[in-house]
Chain A
Amino acid sequence: MNEDMIAKLKENVIQGRKTQDDEGIDEDLTGPGVVELTQQALDANIPVAVIIKEGLTAGMQVVGEKFSTKEYFIPDMLASAEAVGAAMDIAKPYLEVSGGSTNGKFAIATVKGDIHDIGKNIVAILLKGAGYEVHDLGIDVPTEKIVEFVRTEKPDYLGLSALLTTTMVVMGEVADALKQAGLREQVKVLIGGAAVSIEYAQEIGADAYCADGFEAIKQMEAFQTA
């Protein structure tokens, strides 16, 4: 019974059905969506950790695979991530009661001089759906503000985004400023965006280059098990 509920939850994540009113990829799929199923599972006293891990996260993993093989496109991925994000909002109070925690604190910003936010927003939605506590610092964020956030809020991860070759260089400035403030070792810096490459990540001493949000999740999981 419980297993059946979790399997249904996972399937609805894969289909991107946030609520019972949403159309899935398989048109015949009806009934409760991710939000309703999460509530039902909690009401049935299924441990919140099981719901998140075997339902939500397992579903998103499949979405990530389908996205990387180009079977899924951005709208598919966003629908699933938003469904999981909504489910996490429902699960959060239960998570706190059970003493469980999120996967970590993740701050994300588009660097100074760059106002592009689409890629950043997608990554933020995706990571929230993956169980991270996401803090979106916005676009055109001054380096000092990012450093200050790392100092006071102590995120585990810092994601930096830039679309342009002219603003990409600011990522290096952020890394340097963190180093100067003595904060570089306390946070993993991940960078991404159209102009950015793995070579550039190495050049500025970032901890990882991520081509998309799923790669960011993989990288952070690798940091956790390292």
Chain B
Amino acid sequence: MRLGKMLIIGERINASNKSVGQALANGDKEFLQNLAKAQADAGAAFIDVNAGAATDWAGSSTALMEWLIDVVQEVTEKPLCIDSDDPAVVQAALKRYRGETVMINSVNAEPERLNSIGRLALERKTSLVALVMRDGGIPRTVEERLDAADAIMTHLVGLGVKEEQVYFDPLVLPISVDSTQGLITLKTIAGIKARYPSAKTVMGLSNISYGLPNRRMINRAFMVMSAAMGLDAAIMDPLDAKAMSLARVADMLTGEDLACKKYIKAHRKGLLVE
């Protein structure tokens, strides 16, 4: 089932979240499976799986990721977004995963990682999230981010990866720390779409609202604004029904929902929350 153009990647299974970290440390299968199912039921197109570092019982970060993949696959057939910057963990996860469609999250412009993860993406024909940054942190300007995107695309195409396999992440920094960062991200999305029309864009929304009150409201607004710039996918909380409704609205307002059919269908099913 694909609700609309904007691809929703469920962000909840992430080791950096305290309760998820706890569940991973305790091997709490039920907690993680409930989270996977809830996100799938809420309309997530992909489930992001981030297992973090090794736990006492799992021994290594690879073993933990393999276990997590098994746990999630037991309850849903939704495609997974394998979230790790360690090529060994990604490789093991891809081996363990039974489904067809899969996304790797993520690489940056660092050549060594581009090589190893790019090859994995090529072999398995996966989508690949590419952060538009080099070593040494997140570039503060649009130009530097687009330069990093160029470096990444040149490298990946050189390996044989197709442009449409690449999901560029324009990067999001908290608006609470630097009030120019919202527009910088939006302009980066537009810049990437102009340079690489067949490539996609994806980003985690919640970073934008760090340190501010009413975070979900900010995340939702940012998602709609990003859709206008051409954002193709959002890593977000699918259990936020208002955000899911706004994703449908954004599809419609950007001409991605012919004759507003999907929007009206969602309304008839009672899926839209005002």
Query: Residues of A at under 8 Å CB distance from B?
Result: 70, 73-75, 78, 115, 117-118, 121-122, 139-140, 163-166, 168-169, 194-195
Contact = CB atoms under 8 A, between A and B. Distances in A.
Contacts of A169: 53
Given A115-B136, A166-B61, A194 B16 contact: yes
B164 to A, nearest CB: 28
B136 A118 contact: no
B135 A140 contact: yes
Interface of B: 15-16, 21, 52-53, 61, 85-86, 135-138, 173-174, 176-177, 210-213
A139 B52 contact: no
A163 B16 contact: yes
Contact of B177 (A122, A194, A195): A122
Nearest to B212: A73
A85 to B, nearest CB: 15
Counting chain A CB atoms within 10 Å of each CB, the highest count among B21, B173, B174, B177 belongs to: B177
A74 B212 contact: yes
Contacts of B52: 164-166, 195
Contacts of B176: 73-75, 78
Contacts of A70: 213
Contact of A75 (B15, B135, B211): B211
Contacts of A168: 53
Contacts of B16: 163-165, 194-195
Given A78-B177, A165-B16, A140 B136 contact: yes
B69 to A, nearest CB: 17
23 contacts: A73-B176, A74-B174, A74-B176, A74-B177, A75-B176, A75-B211, A78-B176, A115-B138, A117-B137, A118-B173, A118-B174, A118-B210, A139-B136, A139-B137, A163-B16, A164-B53, A165-B16, A165-B21, A166-B85, A168-B53, A169-B53, A195-B16, A195-B21
Nearest to B52: A165
B86 to A, nearest CB: 7
Contacts of A163: 16
A58 B94 CA distance: 56
Contacts of A78: 176-177
B35 to A, nearest CB: 18
Contacts of A115: 135-138
A74 B52 CA distance: 27
Contact of A118 (B15, B53, B177): B177
Nearest to A125: B177
B177 A165 contact: no
Kindly name the residue among A163, A164, A166 whose own CB sees the greatest number of chain B CB atoms within 10 A.
A166
Nearest to A167: B53
A166 B210 CA distance: 21
Nearest to A168: B53
A78 B16 CA distance: 25
A137 to B, nearest CB: 13
Interface centre among B16, B85, B86 (most CB of A within 10 A): B16
A195 to B, nearest CB: 6
With most chain B CB atoms within 10 A of its CB, the pick from A139, A140, A165, A194 is A165
Contacts of A140: 135-137
Contacts of B210: 74, 118
Contacts of B85: 166
A73 B175 CA distance: 12
Nearest to B173: A118
A174 B173 CA distance: 28
Nearest to A74: B211
